[in-house]
Amino acid sequence: ALLASDEIDICEPDAVVTTASGRRLRARAAQEPNRFVPDDPIFKEQWGMASIDMPEAWAFLSEQQQETDSGADSVGNGTTVVGVIDGGVDYNHPDLKDAMWVNQGEIAGNGIDDDGNGFVDDIHGWAWCDGSENPHIGDGDPMDEHGHGTHCSGTIAATANNQEGIAGVAFGRTKIMALKFLCGEDGRGYTADSIHAINYAVAMGATLTSNSWGYLGFTAYRALEEAIREAEEADMLFIAAAGNDDNDNDGPRKGYPASSELDSIISVGAATRNGEKAPFSNYGLESVDVFAPGTRIASTMPGGKYAAMGGTSMATPFVAGLAALLWSTDPAQSYRDIKHRI
């Protein structure tokens, strides 16, 4: 009966989604990289960075930047913005406070929507927590109480070479836009709120989004796919966790939204230190695009702390950080260019 109304385009359940992290694990020391080695004390435990050759990449970009500074035509040093759609970010963390996106059109704490975007005091992003169809319901404090979003953000952009904690993949070249919708004690959130977060990221100019959440099901949610499609039209990448069910996403049950058939999605599985599929990770020759480090990943936690966690949630920000880093070298690249390079 509802679909018979001319005023309704889509009628479907508002699914509850969850994070894609495994249990927290203690990190082990990794072999020292032989190129650019940040002085961050926990970097030696970031085995994932060496496994994807980040020390070599950082050294190369540093050398190229020196050539650029001396007048040579070389690799650029643009700043990208990653919308971390998750459970919030500890924006006061010593390793993240300088990596946070700041809404330059907003004045903090004055209770006024200075930039007229419909969100009051959205300095670092926004928090949607009630599944309302109204995207402006929520608040401008996307603080992380549970750690999942902060952990993901550290892998992407934690400040490096500051003698503090860890180093992020795209340190110094990207900013974190905190888009909180996983608000429950168990890391759950409403699909409607994830859609609001995607739309906000597009409206506020994020380069890409990192999405360490999802659900296992037989069908994709049309409203969520439509939001991702609109972000794609804005040239935005959607990096998504494949899921932690040891499930073949090529089969009838898939990890969504990572398995949605949209060109701008990069579906990420989790790999072990030995380069093998993590036992929990979803997989699929057609549905999972890339595997990244996803076990014993050391990163930032709320309250200035650090911890190691595992899951496709932890693998996804490696790819998001890499995409941000690649985009920073040439902001004129399209999402298709970046996806092809990855």
Active-site residue numbers?
A: 86, 148, 313
Q: Which residues contact 53 (CB under 8 A, 6 or more apart)?
A: none
Residue 291 to residue 281: CA distance in whole angstroms: 9
Sheet with 305-311, edge to edge strand ranges = 21-25, 305-311, 297-301
HSE, CB side, 13 Å, CA atoms: give it for residue 298. 22
Residue 309 to residue 155: CA distance in whole angstroms: 11
213-217 and 16-19 strand pairing = antiparallel
Place of tokens 């935005």: 236
Provide the phi-psi class of 208: left if phi over 0, else alpha when psi is between -120 and 50, else beta. beta
| The dihedral sign for the CA sequence 121, 127, 132, 135 | positive
